[in-house]
Amino acid sequence: MLLDDMVERSLPEETRMMRDVTRKFVDEHVIPFMRQHWQQEWSMRPDGRLPDRILQVADEIGIRTLGVPEEFGGMALDPRTETQTFAVISEEISRGDCGLSDKLVQIWKVSVLLRNVAPRHLQELWFPRVVEDPSFLLAHCLTEPRGASDRWLPYNVPEAAMQTRAALKGDRWVINGRKQFISNGYDAKLYVVYANTNPKVGMLQGTSSFLVPRATPGLTVQRCNETLGGRFMNNGEIVFEDMELPRDHLLAEGDALMRAGIYFRPGKIIQGSKNLGVGVRAFEETAKYVQEYVQGGRILIKHQATALRLADMATEICAVRGLLREAAAAVDAKAPEADVLCNMVKLYASESVLRVCKHAMELHGGNGTMLDFGIEKLYRDASMFLHMDGTVDVSKFKIVKGLFPDTAGKYAGPEA
């Protein structure tokens, strides 16, 4: 297909090989499961939705531990193209299911963060455990029940600081607070937790991060958030009540949000690539359907209205992919325009892929709304991305602030 040919020309050989292995995994394991067990998505037992075998196979082919340093048994990637490889692989996984992609990419992104900010003794303790256990999931606990958009802008004043607080008492950190909408939050075994350690300064100077094992007394997984889409990733709410941590579990003190850029920039790229995978699947299923289904005495693709929509879908997908490739290359090159491009990808992919999935659902007619047909799931999955990794409006604010730093407004609170 033309869309695949465009990808082939732009990929390094290593990335192409990993893409092909991942595609085989998705086609042979993920998509068949989703088709045969579509009811599992609606199970109210979060730990029973996705079979362990799916993660085990992902582990066997080496894609579960991307980002873990090779010395600890992880899958080594060329640092010059690491983010681009993350994007290609997460797109393929999301073509099978974006919830599964969410499960895996949290391991990748948190591993990249830990290898850059975690002290050596914590890396030696935890990376081998991640590698040894195919069910080991990681989670990044930043978002709170209120003020999430303030974190993304950021609105850097004391009153916008984290509600979760950490205080050093002797040789122990004591943490109190709550985190909401945490990817993998319900079933992760290790958490990176952000907390305010200095309420007198802005959150860029007063936020610290900690490495928290799930079994830590005082940590409670309050519930699984039952979401509209992406339901094979168990989003969770976490509560900390006088939770004590050893002093050496501190990752970054004061400047944790600034140092987390190593997580956020690839995260925006991966977010866009997960969007893209959903859009590609919607296009594939629709392209097949309109060349087989007959309406008005002819196959659907021969109708002008169908042709117009199909052309729009293909063009949107190629446009997202082009911007995504440029932004991913900028992140790998540590280019100054990387932040703006990452936010553009997040924004454009969120809105474009939702349009693609809307076309897909409408071109399938009544079948597009049937739960067992699979198209409405893609539409629901795509709708989730409008609010993940910041809302689309916040992304627009950040784009303007990046393009016009001297004149753009704060877009939160009073102007300076």
Give the tens place of pLDDT for each residue, 329-386.
999 999 999 999 999 999 999 999 999 999 999 999 999 999 999 999 999 999 999 9
Q: Is 260 helix (H, G, I), strand (E, B) or coil?
A: coil
Give the tens place of pLDDT for each residue, 74-131.
988 899 999 999 999 999 999 999 999 999 999 999 999 999 999 999 999 999 999 9
Classified by CATH at the fold level, domain 139-255 comes out as Butyryl-CoA Dehydrogenase, subunit A; domain 2 (2.40.110)
CA angle 252, 390, 190 (to 5 degrees): 45
CATH number, domain 2-135: 1.10.540.10
Give the tens place of pLDDT for each residue, 238-297.
999 999 999 999 999 999 999 998 999 999 999 999 999 999 999 999 999 999 999 999
**320, 269 contact by CB (below 8 A):** no
**148, 154 contact by CB (below 8 A):** no
Residue with tokens 């998505």: 41
Q: What is the DSSP letter of 241?
A: E
Range(s) of the chain covered by CATH 2.40.110.10: 139-255
What per-residue confidence (pLDDT) applies to 159? 76
Residues 6+ apart with CB under 8 A from 71: none
**246, 172 contact by CB (below 8 A):** yes
Range(s) of the chain covered by CATH 1.10.540.10: 2-135
Assigned architecture for domain 259-403:
Up-down Bundle (1.20)
What per-residue confidence (pLDDT) applies to 9? 66
Comparing CA positions, the residue from 95, 102, 27 lying closest to residue 61 is: 27
**254, 68 contact by CB (below 8 A):** no
Give the tens place of pLDDT for each residue, 224-238.
999 999 999 999 999
What per-residue confidence (pLDDT) applies to 160? 77
Range(s) of the chain covered by CATH 1.20.140.10: 259-403
